[in-house]
Structure 1
Amino acid sequence: MNRNHLSVRGLLWAVPFLLMAGCSSPAAGNSDKPPASSQPADSASGGQNQPQNQPQTQPSQTQTPAPPQSESAQKPEAVHMGKVTAVRLADPQKGWTGGNGWIARTDDGGKHWTAQYQGAGLVNQLFALNDREAWATLADKAESKGPFRLIRTEDGGHSWKDAGSVPNAGFLHFVSKTEAYSANAKTTDGGKTWTKLAVPEQLVGDAYFRDGGIGWAVTQSKNEIQVQHTADGGQSWQPVLKRSTAVPATGAQIRSAGKDDAWVELIGDSGMSQTSYSLLHTSDGGKAWLTVIANSTAGAGPAPGIPADQAKGKTNNGSKPGPLYVVSPSVAFMGGDCPACDKPNTLGWTKDGGKTWVNGKEELTGYGPALLAMADAEHGWWLTTDNEQPSVMYTTSDGGKSWTKAYTFDKPEQGM
């Protein structure tokens, strides 16, 4: 049990939620998906980096210089695969993981791995259009906000080459070989140069842009949270959701699985190793919204975007949010984290667009950030991390109902 004292706000909320604060009870990553012509493959990139964007009034062109060219890939005899910091799958059997100075690939669902790249830098994100074309961002340190070195492969990882850089720590997603987005930055030349897109004032978290000029953003006024939408690449924004809120949003994460689809995670206050949060969803361009999750907690207070006198939404297990992974307008998975529990990692999902929420029964060890990647509604990878124990990968083929340990990242693997 956590030994920290309740805050004043926590005391006000403790009575109705004391029973929810226990480890075994509910207390409370793009789509993360490439174009329809490619295999589904998305992750929360190993963490929830949520840098605050500065308000912009007009789009501007910025030239981000590419780093010096280096060897496309070092091919060591053996690579020690330590803590995993990023994951991306191309299909249920094929995909990549990366860590501090390495990238490895599996072609049999994680049972065996081939080390493909070894070099300086911490792998911050991985993204794949298919099992041949993938990208990785490399950071100097774990808390870096960018810019990041960008490398890519066109041959399934046999070789990795410098591709330019990424200017920020937003969610990187390519929609073609040359067009990609990261927060409010866009490239049309594969990462060599980036254009900064305009975002609304009072922005919370990162804006999310996709092809066709579509974008979503969360803004916060004194007592109201708004979700705003653009159809012209940020030149103009319109509010499509206004919610009175008992507490302000301290962060936001947005993912999309289609032109009219948006999943918006709102982060609230934190206290007693707990964080309140909510998850909202629209599938019609913002005309109608569902409150998918509303996790209020004893130590952190009410979920953001939920009026104080209402209790809409379902709850996700855990006392803090874990990774969010959107598969389609109907299917999304989200982890739960309980730092005070012996097995902190849990997972829940919806397969009807948020009308219902299912909390899985699996509980996994690991006190570091969990990583999640789903190929479709039934097949996916779930990785746990820890500063003292090896990272472990689990797989599911029944939509998250059961998970099988596939690999423990604690030994060197042969290079290609």
Structure 2
Amino acid sequence: MNTLTILEKLVSFSTVSRDPNRPLIDFVRAFLAGHGIESELVEAEGRRKANLFATIGPRDRPGIMLSGHTDVVPVEGQPWSSDPFQLRVADDRAFGRGTADMKGFVASALALAARAASRNLETPLHLALSHDEEIGCVGVRSLIDRLATRGFAARLAVIGEPTGMRIATGHKGKLAARATCCGVSGHSALAPKALNAIHLACDFVGALRRRQDELAESGARDDDYDIPYTTIHAGVITGGTALNIVPSLCSVDFEIRNIAADDPAAILDGLMDDAAALAAAQRAAHPEAAIRIERLNDYPGLATPAESEAVRFVAALLDDGATHKVAFGTEGGLFSSRLGVPALVCGPGSMDQGHKPDEFITLDQLAACDRFMERLLDRIAA
């Protein structure tokens, strides 16, 4: 199979994060086995989802890892002009959910694996496929844990998120949290006698905005990013049951996306102080007042030096070896921080097309990725 044929098959699996990815993983495992490549699964609870890991070539030395996630975002509510889970090729573009983010890279990596199986490799080639990346880089952690128990080492990891086949050496970290605001319920006709949890939540959102203003005005900066400072963002507010009831509970889901110079835990500590002060100001009249903050998820940022050996190695295999940083997060920071594997982000397509209706990747970008893969194979072959 060539890359486009493999991509057609991968797109046909509806691997939205809430759904199983096993049919796709089982296809990949059979595809690899058909070329004499053994693979192992790291299954999630219930066996509905799994990560896959395979090594081609010698196992007694560090190799090159190609890493991709298999899940995609939902399509509901998006005005697609064709079936999002059936690849459509038109006007030198391949349309379908996940074509850019990031099944195009996975398809090219699988085509490479098939060719590599018939070559005598001096440097091993590793293939790592994960689940549940789109909901916070969740699934890959069990694979990393498995590799860590073996003392796994690699020369570098290429995270194939869409970068237009340019090297991204960094991205921000992310910390997601929830503030649960506790007030006192009552009849809306007597609202001043109660404590409105939505109002308390709005006060907390005000604290988020003040902290954001401080970061934007006087915080650390990294001008390689479109937004060169750490950001704080409230994304979901939930509270209230009826207009004539003063709500006693309201939650605010928020995130911190930090540049490498900032510590998200320290920023969260500051927000906890703000929350405590807001609640304390209400307790004289309402002892029940509280704002409880819990961490929901986090993943580290990526900061691979542009002058590193890993970057030089990959740059030599590309048509354009320039480096930059990306706004979106990846699994690269986890491979780097937990396994000590130098990671960079480089894959076909553009995130401008990701997560949108009529998502697509250009055939030129797939061809550029295939050229990179072929040069990589020539480099690691004996």
TM-score by length of 2: 0.23
Q: Which has the higher contact order (CA 8 A, sep 6+)?
A: 2
Q: Which has the higher strand share?
A: 1
